[in-house]
Structure 1
Amino acid sequence: MNHPNTRVKPTIGPIKDLENHVEGFKQVREAHRRELIDDYLELISDLIHEFGEVRQVDMAARLGVSQPTVAKMLKRLAAAGLIQQIPYRGVFLTQEGESLAQQSRERHAIVEE
């Protein structure tokens, strides 16, 4: 039993094989980025099929994030050629974006079965 005034110092030593450690974090970040892209593309596709258009405000509400967060991701998706943003009209998927949304939807269906 530890005395309340006794602190245990964590053992911190050199990271073994730093390159593998760094590579592991890169892979996790890339997987998370890919998940976000899939979520956005699938949501855009769903909203287009349901309402015929997609607005940032609707996406923000569905994702539980702020509109600036959505705007930042939409810029990335547009730069990657996955969406088109048309002023005063909304967000639309490119052919590649729709293809990726469909692939994501199929993966989710497999996982949910």
Structure 2
Amino acid sequence: MAHSHTPEAHAKIRRDHAQETAEDYVEAVADLVAERGTCRVVDLAERFGVSHVTTLRVVKRLVSEDLLKTEPRKPIELTSAGKKLAAACAQRHEAVYRFLRKLGVSKRVAALDAEGIEHHLSKPTLKAMRAFTAG
């Protein structure tokens, strides 16, 4: 298999990873607000098993991308763009989970695998998964 070790390939990987992180964070904020009524940096750090500083950096980036809003010592909230992204991620996650379950994958494994797979699907693949589980 040919490997592409170009600056462009590495830049794409970094962009994809940044988008995956954004999706995970907005989805987590939505989940925490739904579960607890509020979301704080400490909640996200705990959920992802990362440091407070790492979480602050990500939150700051997502605020600058207009996905989250917060102020020092205040809860984290989703912007309208963040809510839209979180809803799309949740729907994509559920579609992948249902697909894996229909294939016979256990609930536990399907939940874990869906978390990773959901970020890397093309629209045609996601559409095919939804069609497969609808029938």
Q: TM-score, normalised by structure 1?
A: 0.77
Higher-Rg structure is: 1
Alignment correspondent of 1:62? 47
**What aligned pairs does 1:21-32 form with structure 2 within 5 A after superposition?**
21-32=6-17
Q: Is structure 2 residue 98 aligned with structure 1 residue 107?
A: no
Contact 1:53 1:89 in 2 (8 A): no
Cα shift at 1:79: 0.8
* C-alpha spacing 1:62/1:22, structure 2 compared with 1 (3 Å): same
* Gap runs ≥5 in structure 2: 99-135
Cα shift at 1:17: 8.2
Alpha-carbon deviations, 1:56-99, whole Å to 9, x = none? 11110110000000000111011111111034331000111010
The runs of at least 4 aligned residues of structure 1 exceeding 4 Å deviation read none
Report the AA paired with residue 92 of structure 2. Answer: R
Q: Distance in 2 between matches of 1:84 and 1:17?
A: 38
Q: Distance in 1 between matches of 2:87 and 2:72?
A: 25
Secondary structure of 2:43's match? helix
Q: Distance in 2 between matches of 1:59 and 1:91?
A: 10
The structure, 1 or 2, with the larger RCO (C-alpha pairs under 8 Å, 6+ apart) is 1
More strand per residue: 1
Question: Number of residues paired by the alignment?
Answer: 96
Secondary structure of 1:81's match? coil
Alignment correspondent of 2:25? 40
* Gap runs ≥5 in structure 1: 1-15
Alignment correspondent of 1:83? 68
Alpha-carbon deviations, 1:23-68, whole Å to 9, x = none? 2212111111110000000000000111111111111011000000
More helix per residue: 2
**CA-atom RMSD, angstroms?**
1.8
Q: Distance in 1 between matches of 2:4 and 2:52?
A: 41
